[in-house]
Structure 1
Amino acid sequence: MPSIVALAGSPSTESRTVALLRHIASRLDRHDVEVIPIRALPADALLGADANDPAVGEAVKKVADADGLIVASPVYKAAYSGVLKTFLDLLPASALAGKAVLPILTGGAPVHALALDYALRPVLTALGARHVLTGLFLIDKQIERTPDGVVLAPDVQAKVDAAVAELVP
């Protein structure tokens, strides 16, 4: 069964981004999908760039062993979150070699969609991703949180399904 790691780069405990990744994971039943909320990793290890920390080391290994990757973050200051940045900085230079990567960003306004191409995609490419897919940008209001996860409007769900189909045809 192909494995996919979904890195959730939100610093928030009530994150729409994490809820969206869990929603996507639940729809990929023919794949082994693990959502890793970066905020759950030890802050001292992330801020101190301690790749030898057991929890950080395990997350890095899961990325290395995965067949594909989803990297998601809310937009902060016209880029992806600092939480995600600290984790990506710990990955070896070729950590994404041979992998297809689906970047996903969430933001408050359509203008934030530019962060996908100008901030996140270059970092994923620099880490050696075989193929950085087109990606997906959703406005926060398009992700309705519920006690059971998220509800997406049919047109938004279709966009999500199309983006994921690029990763797992």
Structure 2
Amino acid sequence: MSYIVAISGSPSSESRSSILTNYLKREAEQNGIQIKEISVLDFEPDVLIRGIYDHPSILQVTQELKGASGVIIVSPVYKAAYSGALKTLLDLLPQDVLKDKPVFPLMVGGSGAHLLAIDYSLKPLLAALSAQTILKGVYVLDKFVDKSDLRNPIKDEEVQSKVTVQFKQFIEIVSNLRSSAELK
């Protein structure tokens, strides 16, 4: 069975990044697509900090990513880049873990000053992990994510439209790749 992996890079379980990850999971499931959620919080801090790349939890996430049809990465912006916890997790994975995978990046930040964080920090990291197709991605301002409305957390029509369009494009790419693989 085909599935997508959604990785939340937030070190907080109640963050806007986590809320957006859950939102996209529900959207995918409504379209009949299974999502496996991974959070940096799923890992023992010692595993990440000490770089234990052969720990069973790291080996498991590696297998889940290698078996995925696509990957969604959602991270808060800290100091103009993705979270350090996300970077630490991704550093422990094999360099080709995203090979042949489309990736949909989303970042959540406090100001428009970090609008290019996806292009200048996250995309180069994803490319280093051999991602096949990296969508444009969406940068979402904190103020547009309502933590009290888990069903429809995005409170700006333009941002909602961008997320919807990019997510549909991502699902289309995933579906096309899956169909091509089935024909082989």
After TM superposition, give the deviation of residue 13 of structure 1 in Å. 2.6
Match of 2:36 in 1: 34
Match of 1:168 in 2: 171
Deviates more, 1:150-159 or 1:24-33: 150-159
| 2:9/2:74 contact within 8 Å kept | yes
Q: Does 1:159 align with 2:162?
A: yes
Match of 2:22 in 1: 22
Query: Which amino acid in 1 is paired with 2:75?
Result: S
After TM superposition, give the deviation of residue 126 of structure 1 in Å. 1.0
Runs of 4+, deviation exceeding 3 Å? 147-150
Q: What count of residue pairs does the alignment treat as equivalent?
A: 169
Deviates more, 1:10-19 or 1:67-76: 10-19
After TM superposition, give the deviation of residue 148 of structure 1 in Å. 4.1
| 2:94/2:129 contact within 8 Å kept | yes
Match of 2:178 in 1: none
Aligned-partner Cα distance in 1 for 2:124–2:112: 20
| Structure 1 pair 119–146 and aligned structure 2 pair: CA distance change class (3 A) | same
Query: Which amino acid in 1 is paired with 2:14?
Result: E
Query: Which amino acid in 1 is paired with 2:130?
Result: G
| 1:96/1:130 contact within 8 Å kept | yes
Which structure carries more strand by proportion? 1
Aligned-partner Cα distance in 1 for 2:149–2:117: 30
Q: Does 1:5 align with 2:5?
A: yes
The percentage of counterpart residues that share the same residue type is 37
Aligned-partner Cα distance in 1 for 2:66–2:143: 33
Where do 5+ consecutive residues of structure 1 fail to align? none
When the two structures are superposed, what TM-score results if normalisation uses the length of structure 1? 0.94
Aligned-partner Cα distance in 2 for 1:36–1:149: 20
Q: Does 1:80 align with 2:72?
A: no
Aligned-partner Cα distance in 2 for 1:79–1:126: 16
Aligned-partner Cα distance in 2 for 1:73–1:56: 19
| Structure 1 pair 158–2 and aligned structure 2 pair: CA distance change class (3 A) | farther
Deviates more, 1:155-164 or 1:77-86: 155-164
- Structure 1 counterpart SS, 2:166: helix
Match of 1:117 in 2: 119
Q: Does 1:138 align with 2:140?
A: yes
After TM superposition, give the deviation of residue 35 of structure 1 in Å. 1.6
Match of 1:105 in 2: 107
| 1:19/1:149 contact within 8 Å kept | no
After TM superposition, give the deviation of residue 43 of structure 1 in Å. 0.8
Aligned-partner Cα distance in 2 for 1:35–1:22: 8
Query: Which amino acid in 2 is paired with 1:25?
Result: K
Deviation readout 1:10-33 (Å, 9 max, x if unpaired): 011321101111011101122111
Alignment RMSD: 1.4
After TM superposition, give the deviation of residue 161 of structure 1 in Å. 0.8
Query: Which amino acid in 1 is paired with 2:27?
Result: R
Whichever of the two has the greater Rg, that structure is 2
